[in-house]
Amino acid sequence: MVRRLEVRYADLPTGRVKSVVSACHASLDDKPIRDFIPVLVEHAARSQLRAERRPAPYTAPHES
């Protein structure tokens, strides 16, 4: 899964992708049902990585 995300988000550093996946996985460590953890981790990681690659919203310069 990490490799697939590294390819999909090649514009982000691979270390960042791994870090996001690890954090998403850690957030689900205490959940009792383990069957869907990989799917949930990948979904959460994609959402976070997608948000990180979006450019900041444009703000017009102030006119004097």
* Structure confidence at residue 56 (pLDDT): 57
What span, in angstroms and rounded, lies between the C-alpha atoms of 7 and 10? Answer: 5
How many domains does the chain contain in total? 1
pLDDT in tens, 19-34: 999 999 999 888 888 8
Residue 23 lies in a domain: yes
Tens-digit pLDDT profile for residues 3-62: 999 999 999 999 999 999 999 999 988 888 888 889 999 999 999 999 988 765 666 666
Domain for residue 58, yes or no? no
59 in a structural domain: no
Specify the pTM.
0.71
> Residue 26 belongs to what domain range?
2-53
